[in-house]
Amino acid sequence: MIYKAWEIQSELNGPLFIRYPKDRTSCDLPEEFSTHRWLTEQNSNSLIVSTGHITSSVQSGLFDHLHLGQIKPLPINLVEILSKYNNVLVLEESIGHGGMFGAIAGMAADADLDVRLVKRKISDAFTNHGVRQELLKELGLIP
């Protein structure tokens, strides 16, 4: 995976940041990285967008669920995807302002989309140490 990152870096006109996962990952990663993938498609008017390991904790049920494999750059067709929904819940395991929600909100504003965006992320406050699943529940990120 580091070799693939090095190959990508050689084509960039700037820095490349590598984010190491907070949890275990499988070793059978695909050679090509996809920008997004559908986890649930129910033809709902509401969409859940998630990234990272919190995706595996999401119980999307009756809602459509899109997993973003990367935040920057966002998928080119994300505006087209968002335009099909009335409500979009952005769920990410990060703190403060910006991040995936900020990028999606900016993209939606630039495209003048009429969509209700809701964010669920870690509040900008100290988080105690503990078992990850318990902390996610305490923070309101999973039921």
- pLDDT of the residue at 71: 83
- Is the per-residue pLDDT at 27 higher than 70? no
Residues 124-142 have pLDDT tens digits of: 778 888 888 898 888 888 8
Indicate the SS3 state at residue 36: strand
Residues 74-122 have pLDDT tens digits of: 988 999 999 999 999 999 888 767 789 999 999 999 999 999 999 988 8
Distance CA 79, CA 58 (A): 23
Question: Cβ neighbours of residue 85 under 8 Å, at least 6 residues apart?
Answer: 44, 45, 46, 47, 64, 115
Domain 33-138 has CATH 3.40.50.920: yes
The DSSP line for 42-87 is ---SEEEEEEGGGGGG---TTSEEEEES-SSSPPTTHHHHHTT-SE
- pLDDT of the residue at 80: 97
Q: What is the CA radius of gyration of the chain?
A: 16
Lowest mean pLDDT among 12-16, 40-44, 130-134: 12-16
Lowest mean pLDDT among 47-51, 58-62, 134-138: 58-62
Q: Which residue has the tokens 């990060």?
A: 94
- Is the per-residue pLDDT at 24 higher than 70? no
- Is the per-residue pLDDT at 30 higher than 60? no
Burial bucket for residue 81 (CB in 10 Å: 0-12, 13-18, 19+)? middle
Cβ–Cβ under 8 Å, residues 127 and 139: yes
Provide mean pLDDT across the span 51-57.
82
